[in-house]
Amino acid sequence: MDSEAFVPLLRASLSQWKQRGKRAVWIKLPIELANLVEPAVKEGFKYHHAEPDYVMLVNWISKSTNSLPKNASHRVGISAFVMNDKREVLVVQEKSGKFKGTGVWKFPTGVVDEGEDISMAAIREVKEETGIDTEFVEILAFRQSHKSFFTKSDLLFVCMLRPRSFDIQKQDTEIEAAQWMPVEEYAEQAFMKRHDSFSSVAKVCLTKSEKEYAGFSPIPRTTASGKTTYLYFNTKDLTQV
């Protein structure tokens, strides 16, 4: 559609929607219709969000207070604590990012995909980076940080997983090296001791490895609107829900 045809149609529709008492009008423009972005903006639309292949615009046409849902504000990541029966943890060195070339051994870490459960993301990342099969146990801790990319924030969940296989096959494009390392040796790395966010996580994991620490376990629940979700809570202190 070209903008000469689009603008009169949009104006006529906006006028009708206002009369009918609509509060907001959404327009989702696929990237192929980038030519309609400017005309929509000129008719009063603002951006709401965008993904690689489309931009969503919205026009609040009501006189009432704008109550549009807010845009996504957080990226969610996982860091995976995987320990075998010999008290060795699964660690990697990354090929890029701020740890490149530092020699620091760290837990496998990754970003939760859109629509993915945190527990599934942890299992997937460990498999992708190291080839190790795992089952999810608990969330031991999490960290919220701000301005992680552009203006957005980050939630990083430290997940405990139980290994189901032990032969490492590392992923070559992102991972420089991967190994099983004694948990105390991991925690004793100079880098860990120097940074309190890392040393705190290491202490949580060490405590957990001695079985004295209760994290949050995922329990499937149904929401009021009928969706299946996971509720994470301390199931050691509360066994029946």
Distance of closest approach, residue 167 Cβ to its own copies, in angstroms = 26
CB 75 within 8 A of CB 148: yes
- The CA-CA-CA angle for residues 45, 49, 50, to 5°, reads 110
The beta strands (E) that lie in the chain are given as 24-30, 46-51, 54-60, 74-82, 88-94, 109-111, 134-149, 152-163, 175-182, 217-222, 228-233
Distance of closest approach, residue 165 Cβ to its own copies, in angstroms = 27
Of the residues 116, 128, 174, 176, only one is catalytic, namely 128
Q: Which is nearer to its own copies, 168 or 214 (CB)?
A: 214
Collapsed DSSP state (helix, strand, coil) of residue 91? strand
Known catalytic residue: 128? yes
Distance of closest approach, residue 26 Cβ to its own copies, in angstroms = 9
Q: Which is nearer to its own copies, 104 or 168 (CB)?
A: 104
Distance of closest approach, residue 191 Cβ to its own copies, in angstroms = 8
Nearest to 60 by CA among 8, 19, 18: 18
Q: How many C-alpha atoms does 75 have within 13 Å on its Cβ side?
A: 15
Q: Which is nearer to its own copies, 16 or 101 (CB)?
A: 101
Question: CA 145 to CA 127: how far, in whole Å?
Answer: 26
121 contacts: CB under 8 Å, gap ≥ 6: 76, 78, 110, 111, 112, 113
Separation in Å, CA 207 to CA 81, 141, 198, 201, 216: 12, 12, 14, 10, 15
Q: Which is nearer to its own copies, 125 or 180 (CB)?
A: 125
Q: Which is nearer to its own copies, 127 or 203 (CB)?
A: 203
Distance of closest approach, residue 166 Cβ to its own copies, in angstroms = 28
**Could you list the active site residues?**
128
